[in-house]
Each structure stands twice: as structure tokens, then as C-alpha cells.
Structure 1
Amino acid sequence: MTRFSSFKPKKVLFIATRQIGDVLVTTPLISKARELWPDAEFHFLGYKGKLDMLKGNPDIAQLIETSDRPSLGEYLSLFNRLFQRYDLAFVTQPSDRAYLYGLVAAFRRVGVLGGHPQGKDTQDQAKRDKTQKQNAWKKWISIHTVGVDYFSQHVITEKLRLLEVFFKNPEALFSKPISVTPPVGEALTPVITNELTQPYVVIHPGPLTAYKRWPLAHWQQLITWLVQRGFQVVLSASPAKQDLALNQDILSLLDESVQKQVLDSAGRLSLPQAGSLLRGAALYVGVDTSITHLAAACNIPTIALFGATPPTNFGPWPNGFIGKQPYQLRARSQTVGNVTILQGPGACVPCRQAGCLDRADSHSECLDLLEPNQVIQAIEQALNQQ
């Protein structure tokens, strides 16, 4: 590998054209790059509505938003704005479009390459062959690439390894505490502040896809226990219709006395406000979703319910962890720093498929069988350690 340890870029572009969680997990990379190049100017390119995770980030001088499905006119306008304006681009997703943006924007590029899980059948081999062909041109235009490993390599490590080529000793990247930088908080609305009258727990039950859901009856049992334990419960959710409906379905199962201690904040908070809410919470419980990563970044006790997703790849990063891999691939319960990851039973866990039917609307038996008592036990242990 050719080293560029003497390279000192003046302008750097970070590209993350995916979801808000994918934006948040680039922040350790940005922080380490700032340590390496204290005088460089950093810009960040991502999708409209997905960059609030970077609000107030001290290392980013400019945010550049683009549509997730740009028209020809938008492409031309963006290319004109980007064209060869940067010394270096970090392409943090393996998509063709992200690499195209990097090619247009910078003289040099480093990037993440897509992969396919190891398998023995012909279909898997065909997918791997296709991925290799797609990766060929991306390697050719890059001075350094890092391959995705969905089971063994954490996504934070994946992003940080993009800096390997700029270090004489790449292991130095992982020899100091590594942290995720949450957005700067915003004040909560008086309506929500006035309703928070006692210690509270934030619960985020709604993932982007159905196969990451935990059963409604389990949420009912957990919330009832939390209220009996003396906590208010704040239900969090995005403004998406399915998330709003999910919170209402959970509320409808609760006894009236329990409902009075539950505040539904669904669709009422910006991401910076969600950060403020989380910082004031006694604890957080959520599924595999971006807000769970935000909770961990806010340094509160975080209980994450994982099914198909390997925690070794996308478990919430425990802030201040030193090293490349905080987690085991499979463990019913594992705690590292402020994060506890719970997995359901089954030799297939984690499968990295879209649930048992391998489609977005599937159920996941491992989550169905993850009992509320296991979550309650994890909460008690987390609270006792405070």
C-alpha cells in the first residue's frame, strides 16, 4: 500500500448519501481527520433532510444537500458546484452515485467498497462476482479502499480505516478513545418540558423496516413495568405515518393509569431536540435504528434490541471505546460502556437477512422470542450501575 503520510489537503469532502444513521457514524472519521489535518476545511455532502445529525459539528464548515433522486438539472448544478473543488473526497458508502460525486469533486479519493456475505450456493457466488465487477472502476479511481465486512468489521472501524493510507502506523487510529459526535442540542418546546414532571425513560419502538420491530405486547409489558417503577415514559418516533401509527397502537394497549404517565413525542422533535431529550433521560430502550445510535452518542444508558443485524457491524458504538470491535457476533446480552445489546434466541442469529421471510415486511422470530423480562433485567442492571 502506498502511504500518503505527508499529504496535507486544504479542502476535504465527506460523502454520505444514505440515512441519518449513516451520517452519524461518519463523525468519528471526521474527528480523526481533524486531528490529522487541523487546518483543512471540511465539507459534507448528503441527502436533504438527513444532515441534522451534523448540526453544530465543530469540524464541518459547510453542509451540501442533494436530492436522493436528483433531476438532470440538479445533477448539473451539483456537479458545477463540486467540480474539482477539493483535494480529497471520502466516499463513505459503496454506491455508484457516491463514487461519481467523489470523482467529480476531488483530485484524490478514498472509499468504501461493497461486498456480499460469504456463501456456497451458486446465487451467492453470482452476486459476489457482480459486486467485484462493480468495484473494479471504484478501485481504479481511488488511492485507497476499504471493503465492507457485514459480520466481522464494525461500521465505525470501516470508516476510520479510510484514513489508514495517511498514517505511517495505521494502528494508531485505534489506540485512543473513539467517540461519536451527536448534534448540538436544541431547547425542547414548553409543551413537552412542562409534561416532564419526574425521571423519564425514552423508548423508540419504530425502525425503518418491519422486520426490526419488537412485538406490541412486549412494549406494553415493558412500559407498564417502567411506570410501576416510578418513571415517566417518553415514546419517540419519526414523523413517518407507520411510526406514528405504531406509537398509537402501543398506547391503545396500556391501562388508563399507565397511559397518563406516557408522553408521545412522535413527530414533534427535530433531531437536535431529540438529542436534548435523550441527554436528560435516565435510560433509553430502542430497536435497531438511528435514534438508538444517537442515544449511545449522548452517553446515556442505552438498551438496544437486535435481531437480524450483526452487532459486530452496526451495534451502537460505546463512546470512548478503544479498539476496532466492541462486540461479539452472538450473545443474548452484552454490555460495553453505556451500551447493552440484547439478542433473541436461535442459532441463525444474526442472519443479516430482512427477517425470517427475507423481505422488509417480514417478522423476525428472534425478536418475537426476546422476552420483556430479559429487557427488564438489563434495565435494572444499567440503573444499578449509575
Structure 2
Amino acid sequence: MPINQRSMQNQKPLNIHPKRILVITLRYLGDTLLVTPLISSLKQAYADAEIDVLLPAANAGMLEGNPDIRKLIPLPSKPSLGQFLKLLFGICRSYDLAISTQAGDRPTLIARTAGKTAIGFVPDDPGKAWWKNRLLDRSLVFGVDYDHAVLENLRFCDVLNIEPCYRLKPPQCAEPPAQMPANPYVVLHIMPQWRYKQWHRDGWLDVMAYLNRSGYQLVLTGSGQPAELEGLRDLERQLAFPVTNMAGQLSLAQLAALIGQAALFIGPDTGITHLAAATGTETIALYGPTDPKKWAPWPCRYVGRTSPFASVGSKRIGNVYLLQGFSDRNCVPCQLEGCDRHRNSHSECLDRLPASLVIETIAEVLRQG
């Protein structure tokens, strides 16, 4: 049975046995993790194949220690024309199979150049897709009604006539962080990359006070970006109790190890919340404009051909409790960049998500967990 009824578009499945495979994923940090079920599916089907992944250099840590991958090929965030042409020349016809997991021009060109057989997504726009359809041996339309990112990637299993694997593989490190906090502790990832995905400061302060009263050590995580570090320091200054701030100090693999031993993780719509869910730790995800049906954290042991979450409503599936904000305008999820339509915008639905509801959910999760 196909992952998705749109998968094959009247195209016959390929009958190939590739020895060298290239997977191309050029979007954000969370997207890199969400492609790991496809990579596992390829390794399960072609056990002797060597699988390489071409990805943004900044995302390489998300695949550290992945046993299914032979090599990572990092691409600068804004490569010059010379760098891009050098990349294409270096990988030209080097792979039996190349898969573009995005519908953009650059990943399509890379797939066609690198692979003797090339497959990939194309946009749901004939004016933009026609030349990509001609370049690719098999193409899948990435439509406006797309499904969860994990399931979209697994549509390539139908193209190849192989069985899908549904579990995400978080990065793995040889050694855990040098100083692990004492149990029990809760990991809080407060700052998303963009403001429009951010929950309000007062809510975080109330949640932290509740967890402290409940006897949990609090561990703050984040990137090493100066603005994020200063935001967390400012939050700490408003607390009457100590917390452990590990922002900017850990690799992604070390962060996965830290979260994996926590009693609970709480975070907004960010790649690190996807990572937390993949570790198996109880995860509370605070969502606003983003559609959970398409982009919710994938529960650790969830296996299914439909998205674990609906577009509207808060719900628990497996180790993930998704809390959705709300608005009187019934506009959630809007799939837009906040109420002002830019990344530094506020989002009313998250501004109105009360701390009392989050605390009630925390109590329920910790009691059941």
C-alpha cells in the first residue's frame, strides 16, 4: 500500500539495486532530522549500499554518529557560483541513485548531476515543474496539501518499491556532556530561531517556578547566538532560584544525550523539539502558527501512514504532547510568519496560550510518565 495515494502519479516503481546513494536535504535543522526515516528505509532495503548525505554545513551535527550514513557532504550556507560548480564537478555521476528531498532548483540540479538515476520532488506548478520533470527519472509533486514531512519523504519508498521505516534517528556521540545535571531534571528550550514561534516570557517564568517547587532541576538549552544567550541571561536574572544554563555549550549529539536522560522536555516549534521527541523523552511542544499535521514533532515509536496530529487541537500521541495556541479569529494554524507576516512578528495564538494550561499539562505528563 503506498505511503500516499499521490505518490506514483501513474509512474511505475523503479527496479534498481543501487550501491551508492546520495540523499540531498538543503533546508533547516529540523528537516535534516526528519529525513532520517528515509535514510533508514534505504539502508534497510539496500544493506550493502553506501549512503552519503549532502546538506548545509550548519546542519551536519544533526546526523553525527548515524550508522546508516557513510559520509556527509557539507555545503556552505550561501555558496558562490564557483563553489557550487566545484561541488557539481566533484560528484558528477558518482552515485547510482540521487534523491532530492526538496523541490527547489539547486537540489534538483545536484540530484541530476550526481545520480545515474535521479528522483525528487517538483513544485505543484506546471510552469515551474516542467524542466525538473524532464531532468528527473521519477518525480513526486510536492503540493500545497502536503502531509507530514516524514511521510512526504517516505513517498520515495513507493518510487523504489521498498518498505518504509518510520523512526527518526537522533545524533549519537561517543561521550555524553562532561557535566550532566543531577536527576531529576527538566530541559527547557526557550528561544526558537524566529520570534513568531516564541512563547511569552511570563509563561516561561511561571512554568520554571512550578517545576522548581516540584523538585526538578532546570536545564536551559539554546544556540550560541549572542541575542539568544543574552535573552536567557536576562530570564535568569528574574529568577529567585538557580538554573543550569548550557546554551551554546553542547553539540547536537551531546544535546540529544542530555535530553535523553531528562524527565521532561518543553520547547516551541523548533528543530530541537523535533530532536527531543526522537530521543523518546516526554516532550511538550508549544505550537502556534505552524500546522501540526505537517510539522509536529514525530513521536518516538509512532508507526503510521497518516500524520500523528491533526491541524487543529491539542493532543498527546506517544511521548509527544502538543499544545496549540488559540485565537478568537479561528485562524490557527495559519502557516504564516506571525500576525505581522514576518519572522520577528508576535503570534497572538502563542501570546494567549496561558501558563496555567501548560502547567496542568506538565503535571499530567509527569504523573503518567
- Same fold by TM (over 0.5)? yes
Go from structure 1 to structure 2 and tell me whether the alpha carbon gap of 1:151 and 1:235 turns closer, same or farther (over 3 Å shift).
Answer: farther
- Report the CA distance between 1:150 and its aligned residue: 5.6
- Report the CA distance between 1:354 and its aligned residue: 0.3
Q: Over aligned residues, Cα RMSD in angstroms?
A: 1.6
* Letter of the 1:384 counterpart: R
Q: What is the alpha-carbon distance in structure 2 between the residues aligned to residue 166 and residue 48 of structure 1?
A: 28
**Percent of residue pairs bearing the same amino acid type:** 36
Q: Which residue of 2 aligns with 1:327?
A: 309
Q: Which residue of 2 aligns with 1:19?
A: 28
- Report the CA distance between 1:243 and its aligned residue: 1.6
- State the SS of the aligned residue for 1:253: coil
Matches within 5 A, 1:148-163: 148-149=142-143, 153-163=147-157
Pick one of 139, 147, 158 that aligns with 1:164: 158
- State the SS of the aligned residue for 1:50: helix
Q: What is the alpha-carbon distance in structure 1 between the residues aligned to residue 293 and residue 254 of structure 2?
A: 29
Q: Which residue of 1 aligns with 2:296?
A: 315
Go from structure 1 to structure 2 and tell me whether the alpha carbon gap of 1:351 and 1:201 turns closer, same or farther (over 3 Å shift).
Answer: same
Matched, 1:183 2:171: yes
1:262-304, Cα deviation, whole Å (9 max, x unpaired): 1111101110110110111000000000000100000000000
| Contact 1:151–1:312 (CA under 8 A) maintained in structure 2 | no
- Report the CA distance between 1:231 and its aligned residue: 0.3
Matched, 1:379 2:362: yes
- State the SS of the aligned residue for 2:193: coil
Matched, 1:7 2:1: no
Pick one of 342, 345, 366 that aligns with 1:362: 345
Matched, 1:55 2:61: no
Q: What is the alpha-carbon distance in structure 2 between the residues aligned to residue 5 and residue 113 of structure 1?
A: 18
Q: What is the alpha-carbon distance in structure 1 between the residues aligned to residue 176 and residue 244 of structure 2?
A: 13
Q: What is the alpha-carbon distance in structure 1 between the residues aligned to residue 233 and residue 51 of structure 2?
A: 42
Matches within 5 A, 1:338-349: 338-346=319-327, 347-349=330-332
Q: What is the alpha-carbon distance in structure 2 between the residues aligned to residue 79 and residue 280 of structure 1?
A: 42
- Report the CA distance between 1:245 and its aligned residue: 2.1
Pick one of 175, 183, 202 that aligns with 1:198: 183
- Report the CA distance between 1:152 and its aligned residue: 5.3
- State the SS of the aligned residue for 1:13: strand
1:163-215, Cα deviation, whole Å (9 max, x unpaired): 21122xx7x54xxx62100011353443x33xx23310001011111100001
Q: Which residue of 2 aligns with 1:271?
A: 252
Q: What is the alpha-carbon distance in structure 2 between the residues aligned to residue 299 and residue 114 of structure 1?
A: 34
Equivalent residues, number: 357
* Letter of the 1:264 counterpart: N
Go from structure 1 to structure 2 and tell me whether the alpha carbon gap of 1:151 and 1:202 turns closer, same or farther (over 3 Å shift).
Answer: farther
- State the SS of the aligned residue for 2:30: helix
Q: Which residue of 1 aligns with 2:235?
A: 250
Q: What is the alpha-carbon distance in structure 1 between the residues aligned to residue 144 and residue 203 of structure 2?
A: 29
Q: What is the alpha-carbon distance in structure 1 between the residues aligned to residue 335 and residue 22 of structure 2?
A: 31
TM normalised by structure 2 equals 0.92
- Report the CA distance between 1:137 and its aligned residue: 1.5
- Report the CA distance between 1:3 and its aligned residue: 2.6
Q: Which residue of 2 aligns with 1:282?
A: 263
* Letter of the 1:287 counterpart: P
- State the SS of the aligned residue for 1:341: strand
Say which is worse superposed, 145-154 or 289-298, in terms of deviation: 145-154
Q: Which residue of 2 aligns with 1:300?
A: 281
- State the SS of the aligned residue for 2:237: helix
| Contact 1:17–1:68 (CA under 8 A) maintained in structure 2 | no
Q: Which residue of 1 aligns with 2:6?
A: none
- Report the CA distance between 1:146 and its aligned residue: 2.8
Go from structure 1 to structure 2 and tell me whether the alpha carbon gap of 1:373 and 1:273 turns closer, same or farther (over 3 Å shift).
Answer: same
Pick one of 181, 187, 209 that aligns with 1:224: 209
Q: Which residue of 1 aligns with 2:7?
A: none
* Letter of the 1:155 counterpart: A
Q: Which residue of 2 aligns with 1:31?
A: 40
Q: What is the alpha-carbon distance in structure 1 between the residues aligned to residue 17 and residue 100 of structure 2?
A: 18
Go from structure 1 to structure 2 and tell me whether the alpha carbon gap of 1:152 and 1:4 turns closer, same or farther (over 3 Å shift).
Answer: closer
Q: What is the alpha-carbon distance in structure 2 between the residues aligned to residue 237 and residue 113 of structure 1?
A: 34
| Contact 1:186–1:276 (CA under 8 A) maintained in structure 2 | no
Matched, 1:102 2:83: no
* Letter of the 1:244 counterpart: L
Pick one of 222, 228, 237 that aligns with 1:237: 222
- State the SS of the aligned residue for 2:118: strand
1:148-173, Cα deviation, whole Å (9 max, x unpaired): 35665100000000221122xx7x54
Matched, 1:141 2:129: no
* Letter of the 1:179 counterpart: R
1:326-378, Cα deviation, whole Å (9 max, x unpaired): 111100x2011100111111210000000001111110000001111111121
Q: What is the alpha-carbon distance in structure 1 between the residues aligned to residue 122 and residue 200 of structure 2?
A: 35
Q: Which residue of 2 aligns with 1:211?
A: 196
- Report the CA distance between 1:144 and its aligned residue: 2.7
Structure 2 runs not aligned, ≥5 long? 1-9
